[in-house]
A and B are shown apart, each in its own frame.
Chain A
Amino acid sequence: MRPILLAGHERALTQIKYNLDGDLIFSVAKDQQICVWFSHNGERLGTYHGHVGAIWTVDVDPTSTYIASGSADNTIRMWEVKTGKCLKTWEFPTAVKRVEFNEDGTKLLGVTEKRMGYLSNIVVIDINPDITAEQTDERSLTIVCDESKATVAGWSQASKYIIAGHEDGSVSQYDAKTGELLDNVPIHELDKPIVDLQWSPDRTYFITACRDKTAKLISARDLATLKTYVADTPLNSATICPKKDFVILGGGQAAMEVTTTSGRQGRFEARFYHKIFEDEIGRVRGHFGPLNTVAADPTGRSYASGGEDGYVRVHHFDKSYFDFNYEVERERLNRSQ
């Protein structure tokens, strides 16, 4: 497969998101602008300007009409996808590390950083899906994470729970309506931060990526660890492939350690694991720095990875990817035919 290189950022990528139809890719980096690209040919549709700090996170609503972004300038901004116009700015006392729309795009959650005496908060804002309407300033819910700061968070199926990953390697389950802490499970090694949390297509389970060199598949209902994927390098991101039973992990040693070790050791590769058998089935190299984020196309045709090197690489899968099956899978297919 021939990757498409997108060079729209001057600094390290922080997050990549596909929209639900899989035709647009939103990328944010530490350089204050959001880029949107067509996934099929890598053409840049536009950029969104307004943030005055590194942008940590972006998310697009299910209808691809607006996006939200969280930045180190202590704001969440909402933008119109089509025109690049900033629709709304919410201000917070500290940087915003993660934003996510719920399944129907009516609620937006944001995770704020713990800093300057402020605790890490998970805030929920109700979104008016009408693009012309004035958005509310009100936070409909604020969850204070007083034990260990939240690094990532997301909505489970039907917006029932808010799941948060913490800096101490634990995962919390909150009631999305009341904000009550229902459960907290130490999933990963103690004090290794969870750096990414991405959902399965139906949002019943999710994958976490942790600096303890593992990624885990966890059920949202009871926070049970379903699968564990062991890598040989600290991970920055993990995603679940739709259509095929694969997960993609991205990582590499910390960016600050890159210059002190050889490039060969860097392991700046996207690793593919079989979702069920937990085996590593292949790697895709190409980045010059650690992979900060990986995202899978919801239609299952491609995936994109963003690295510390400032590049987004979009890979459209070959036939061999779709043809790959385990022996048992093949047998089952043969029987059913």
Chain B
Amino acid sequence: MATTAPPKAKHDWADDDDIEETSSELPPPQTISNKDGTKTIITYRYNDQGQKVKTTRRVRYITQTETVNPRVAARKTWPKFGLSAKDPPGPAPDTTSVGENIIFRPSVSWRKDAKEEGADANAQAMKDKLKDKKVKCRICNGEHFTARCPYKDTMAPVGETTAAEAPAGLADDLGAAAGAAGAGKKGSYVPPALRGDRGAGERMGGSKYGERDDFATLRVTNVSEMAEEQELRDMFERFGRVTRVFLAKDRETGMAKGFAFISFADHSDAVTACQKMDGFGFKHLILRVEFAKKAQ
């Protein structure tokens, strides 16, 4: 382990291959001995893109003398056999690798340490934070949780009394505050549709469908293929002012697809139309009329 670079590093299998293939074009590897006892090894090779790469490594050799049993020393010189017979000297990279460093420090209180380590991250920090905190009611400043306060139903929380007393725009203020708090407090993402600060249907506001009132729109199905928008308009006009008629048509054939939307200016007109026209026979088909569901 202490030998930072064994001499065989120079004969790395990866380098060997490359040098053999391209030895005719690459400059030979250089080894320069430095004054401070280190060596600089410069090797050249081609990378995957065929570019010439110069690698300069500064290596310090540490000769570590180890006294081993002569039997052990003899065994180290044995030729390899079996599946390893063709392997060059030194550990083969396909069978031997070095794992990540493991810190192993025996300790008497190992179990206790490990437990603390595991809990430390959150529980201990929380405990420290709360060490000199006391339970305090937000309504009466008593030593109990706000939810348990005896004045819960009769008094507003201490800090909010001023807001509650403000006479004008009370509801709006609170609503806005709640909305802002809901979005801002947690810091988590709130989908636009669920954000309190705007109505659900207002997303398309400003576009040409801006004024559409889904509330008074009827969906008509089982409409004949031959139907025309004008025919539908004439039929529904009797119940009140129709603001829009939309008949779905096939883009290529120009035939009706069999459903339409009729928007009324007034909701009550739409209700009447829905009742009267549902089941009405129109061009050999029986219409089915219902209130359009809101687009999701």
Contacts and interface: CB of A to CB of B under 8 A. Distances in A.
Interface string A41-58: 111111111000000000
A312 B160 CA distance: 66
B82 A82 contact: no
A159 to B, nearest CB: 23
Given A44-B80, A47-B84, A280-B111, A320 B97 contact: no
Given A38-B76, A282-B104, A282-B105, A46 B82 contact: yes
A267 to B, nearest CB: 12
B72 A1 contact: no
B94 A84 contact: no
Contact of B1 (A2, A246, A326): A2
A38 B80 CA distance: 11
Interface residues of B, number: 36
B283 to A, nearest CB: 64
A192 B100 CA distance: 36
B78 interface: yes
B71 interface: yes
Nearest to A246: B106
Interface in B246-288: none
A318 B102 CA distance: 10
Interface residues of A, number: 46
A320 B99 CA distance: 19
B104 A1 contact: yes
Interface string A264-293: 000000001000000111111110000000
Interface in B73-95: 75-76, 78, 80-85, 87, 89-92, 94-95
Contact of A318 (B71, B85, B104): B104
Contacts of B98: 2-5, 42
Contact of A281 (B1, B72, B94, B108): B108
A43 B90 contact: yes
Contacts of B78: 45, 82
A132 B106 CA distance: 47
Given A23-B75, A42-B91, A7 B106 contact: no
B69 interface: yes
Give the interface SS of chain B, mostly helix, strand, loop or mixed: loop
A154 interface: no
A83 interface: yes
B95 A7 contact: yes
B96 A326 contact: no
Which of the listed residues B97, B104, B111 has the most CB atoms from chain A within 10 Å of its own CB?
B104
A215 B101 CA distance: 28
Contacts of A283: 110, 114
Nearest to A82: B78
B108 A279 contact: yes
Contacts of A44: 80, 83-84, 87, 91-92, 95-96
Interface string B206-236: 0000000000000000000000000000000
B154 interface: no
A24 B83 contact: no
A1 B101 contact: yes
A98 interface: no
A8 B95 contact: yes
Interface string B91-130: 1101111111110111110110010000000000000000
Given A2-B100, A7-B96, 5 more contacts: A46-B82, A82-B78, A282-B106, A313-B99, A317-B104
A326 B110 CA distance: 13
A24 B110 contact: no
B171 interface: no
B168 interface: no
Interface in A58-98: 64, 82-84
Contacts of A64: 71, 75
B183 to A, nearest CB: 36
Nearest to A277: B108
A1 B80 CA distance: 28
Contacts of B75: 23-24, 38, 45, 64, 82
B14 interface: no
A146 interface: no
B68 interface: yes
Contacts of B95: 6-8, 44
A311 to B, nearest CB: 9
A320 B106 contact: yes
A317 B102 CA distance: 10
A43 B91 contact: yes
B94 to A, nearest CB: 7
A43 B114 CA distance: 34
28 contacts: A1-B104, A2-B100, A2-B101, A3-B99, A5-B96, A8-B95, A21-B72, A23-B68, A37-B96, A41-B91, A42-B91, A42-B96, A43-B92, A44-B80, A44-B87, A45-B75, A45-B78, A46-B82, A46-B85, A47-B84, A82-B75, A84-B81, A280-B110, A281-B106, A282-B106, A284-B102, A315-B104, A320-B105
